[in-house]
């Protein structure tokens, strides 16, 4: 199963934001066990760095992000994605780029985010980490 991970889930994981990090850890553990394949946009790595550099030392944060790249496939934000995002009907440009990035992945099953409402116009099913874990554990 292929999952596109939104920035807030990565920030929860690395920033150890309680209680959200618990489900983020479970999602990444599924990747580590090769039960899911995780995708993120290049924008998410950049934004995560920007948000967490106030709380984690530069050296440590870069090490963590470098390790993260071993567990995910990074979708680059292309000129085509940016132009599409600028012309999209999505209110939030950043979320538009996330959706467009996810849509570029063949056979993607879900977008995982805590901001479901921001992805209401997505053509891909959107779940919170908690909802995905609940559904996955029931299978």
pLDDT digits (tens, 9 = 90+) for 62-110: 999 999 999 899 999 999 999 999 999 888 899 999 999 999 999 999 9
Residue 34 C-alpha from the chain's centroid:
17
Is the entire prediction scored with pTM above 0.85?
yes
Domain locations in the chain as residue ranges: 2-137
| The predicted structure's pLDDT at residue 55 | 95
| DSSP at 6 | P
For 2-137, CATH gives: 3.40.50.1010
| Whole-angstrom distance, CA of residue 57 vs CA of residue 90 | 34
Residue 68 C-alpha from the chain's centroid:
12
pLDDT band at 139 (very low <50, low <70, confident <90, very high): low
Q: Which of 5-9, 19-23, 110-114, 117-121 has the lowest mean pLDDT?
A: 117-121
Beta-ladder partners of 4: 39, 111
Under 8 Å between Cβ of 42 and 75: yes
| CA 15 vs CA 48, 63, 110, 130: distances in Å | 9, 14, 23, 17
Average pLDDT over residues 17-38: 93
| DSSP at 56 | S
């Amino acid at each position: 199963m292929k999952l596109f991970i939104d920035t807030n889930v990565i920030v929860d994981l690395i920033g150890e934001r309680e209680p959200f990090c618990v489900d983020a850890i479970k999602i990444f553990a599924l990747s580590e066990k090769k039960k899911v394949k995780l995708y993120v946009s290049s924008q998410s790595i950049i934004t995560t760095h920007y948000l967490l550099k106030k709380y984690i030392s530069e050296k440590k944060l870069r090490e963590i992000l470098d390790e993260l790249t071993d567990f995910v496939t990074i979708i680059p934000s292309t000129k085509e994605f940016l132009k599409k995002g600028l012309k999209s009907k999505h209110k939030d440009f950043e979320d538009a780029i996330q959706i467009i990035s996810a849509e570029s992945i063949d056979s993607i099953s879900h977008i995982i985010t805590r901001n479901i409402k921001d992805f209401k116009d997505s053509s891909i099913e959107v779940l919170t980490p908690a909802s995905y874990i609940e559904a996955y554990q029931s299978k």
